Amino acid sequence: MEQAVPGNETQRQNPPCDAWAGEQMGGGPLPFVWLHGWGHDRTSLHRLSRLFRNDGLHWLLDQPGFGATPRLSDGVDGQAAGSAEYAENLAAIWNRLYSDSTGQEGVVLIGHSFGARVAIQFAARYPDKVAALILISGAGIPPRRSAAFRIRAFFLRQLGRVARFTDSIAGTALTDAYRQRFGSADYRMAEDMRGTLVRVIREDLSARAREVRAPTLLLYGSEDRDTPPEIGRRYEACLPIARFHELGGFGHLDILDRGAYQCEALIRGFLDDLELDHTGKHRL
């Protein structure tokens, strides 16, 4: 069932889009919200989420700029939205997800990759709304880089500045060539979302993670090159209540599909240990 979740009319620095496209399923005792990764939409979470169909009422959402949801407008200062603005926009539609229809507020919030960034921001800002946090291949802490990598990145930044300066003076198209040659696949495909992409990859959510009060499960694939397990270990050190698992043989994306049953087992064990009731409150 596809639905549009209306936003409120409050004016923010980044005004909320009118609606988030969403898909609702299930009807069991626990409420769930699922947030997909960068460059994907809610369908990337279908395989895993359907394993929990009978456990609760689920919302799978297209985040702004992906799937059927329009992107967030730039702020009044011209700055593109970051993960904090995504979290605030999610808060603007939150009552339409669960509180208005079921009276439940403490949800199981699940984020993959970029969705984990938004989930952390939301859980830190609205602790009463999140009973448990599950981050799969979660981004948000910059990976440690070698000296060689940092030197190469420095020279590439200088080359990009030269290309932009030359284009402004001579009317050339060196910047486009530079982006095609050196930009990541996400950057090349981002188009009108590039401002948000550049902003979020510069974020370090370590301090924000320390503010999260919900028990958190961290799942990372051993072969993940986009968000390596090292990031999950560092999140584990930041989060007040956290459990980390490294899943052998899985990468950034196939952890959701080929690794769905392994993720399911770990998630179920985590939720069973928390003993959440139908309101999303811990029984322990």
Domain boundaries, the chain: 2-142+202-274, 147-196
CA of 134: how far to CAs of 9, 147, 198, in Å? Answer: 30, 33, 25
The DSSP line for 10-55 is ---SSPPPSEEEEEEEE-SSEEEEEE--TT--GGGGHHHHHTTGGG
Q: Which helix (H) or strand (E) holds 30?
A: strand 30-35
Amino acid occupying residue 154: F
Residue in 140, 103, 144 with CA at minimum distance from that of residue 124: 140
- Within a 10 A sphere around the Cβ of 165, how many other Cβ atoms? 12
* Phi–psi pair at 16, nearest 5 degrees: -65, 145
**2-142+202-274 CATH, one of 3.40.30.10, 3.50.30.20, 3.40.50.1820, 3.10.150.10:** 3.40.50.1820
Q: Tens-digit pLDDT profile for the chain (284 aa)?
A: 445 554 433 333 444 445 799 899 998 778 899 999 999 999 999 999 999 999 999 999 999 999 999 999 887 677 899 999 999 999 988 877 765 545 456 899 999 999 999 999 999 999 999 999 999 999 999 876 555 544 555 555 665 566 565 666 766 765 565 456 545 555 445 567 888 888 998 999 999 999 999 999 999 999 999 999 999 999 999 999 999 999 999 999 999 999 999 999 999 999 999 987 555 555 44
Q: Which helix (H) or strand (E) holds 120?
A: helix 114-125
CA distance 231 to 220: 9
Q: Mention every residue, 6+ apart, whose C-beta is less than 8 A from residue 184.
A: none
Q: Residue 12: helix, strand or coil by DSSP? A: coil
